[in-house]
Amino acid sequence: MLRIIDARTGGPAPAAPARRAPTRVEAHVPERDATALRVLLVADLLARALELDGTPVWTVLTGAAARDRLREEAAALGIRPFEDGAAGHGPGTGQGVRVVSEVVAEGAGESEDVPGAATVAVAPVHPAGIDLAAPDPDAVRLALLVQHHHARVELDAAALDEARDTLARLRRAVADWARHPSRPVPGEARDRLRAAWEDDLDAPGVLRVLRRVEADPDLPDGARFEVCAYADRFLGLHLTRDVGAE
């Protein structure tokens, strides 16, 4: 079961109701900056992990200034669209999870829309601005994913260069593996991936599993491809983008 660290208590809490009723994921971002985009990214990861576990999700955005611009920047990072926040849980929603910055988590009380909602606190990004005019914004997404969301991110030139190189290498490898006969995702790899993202959305843990898969000499290439495609349902990095390209 997917569990998160609830900033209200400092302890683990389930992110989905026991009976698979929809979970309302609220991304609350008072300002439009790099940390706001990271909050939206973590909310996106939460929604992806819940859906992979079979839980319906309703994602909403609250508190944001310049929402249209923020939505454009979020879309460039592969973040799902968020509805405007509305009072109440929504039809049939079982519970709520609120995703906020650390600063908001430290100073805010209960969510006005979903009292009692568990809260995910997201550490800040420095610098406050993100250049999304780069050739591949997925590299920015990866640079934000290599650190756990409880850790501060320094999004400097070195971090972005490393993310671009890593993403290019992975996409080349995935495109090559796709030329080989498909094989099922090995049970051990599937279990490790799920254990990572169900443990407080541990994206760095998912990336570590991919590095092991990439380096394992005994794993068939067709299985490597399927593992990466499966993991990308959580990561959202378009790892299969270059499959079939010349």
Q: Tell me, yes or no, whether 111 and 204 share the same domain.
A: no
Q: Tell me, yes or no, whether 103 and 175 share the same domain.
A: no
User: Measured between alpha carbons, how far is residue 8 from residues 15, 28, 46, 81, 197 in Å?
Assistant: 14, 15, 18, 27, 21
* CA-based max dimension of the chain: 54
Count of the separate structural domains present in the chain: 2
The length of the chain in residues reads 246
Tokens at residue 25, please? 């994921």
Looking up tokens 């051990």, which residue turns up? 188
Q: Tell me, yes or no, whether 231 and 126 share the same domain.
A: no
Q: Domain range spanning residue 21?
A: 3-131
pLDDT value for 39: 97
Q: What angle (nearest 5°) sits at the alpha carbon of residue 131, between those of residues 166 and 167?
A: 10
Q: Tell me, yes or no, whether 172 and 86 share the same domain.
A: no
pTM above 0.85, yes or no: yes
pLDDT value for 89: 47
Q: Tell me, yes or no, whether 116 and 140 share the same domain.
A: no
Q: Tell me, yes or no, whether 126 and 166 share the same domain.
A: no
pLDDT value for 128: 86
pLDDT value for 115: 58
Q: Tell me, yes or no, whether 193 and 91 share the same domain.
A: no
Q: Tell me, yes or no, whether 163 and 194 share the same domain.
A: yes
Q: Tell me, yes or no, whether 117 and 138 share the same domain.
A: no
Q: Tell me, yes or no, whether 193 and 93 share the same domain.
A: no
Q: Tell me, yes or no, whether 119 and 229 share the same domain.
A: no
Q: What is the pLDDT of residues 10-69, one digit of tens each?
A: 999 998 876 667 899 999 999 889 999 999 999 999 999 999 999 999 999 998 777 888
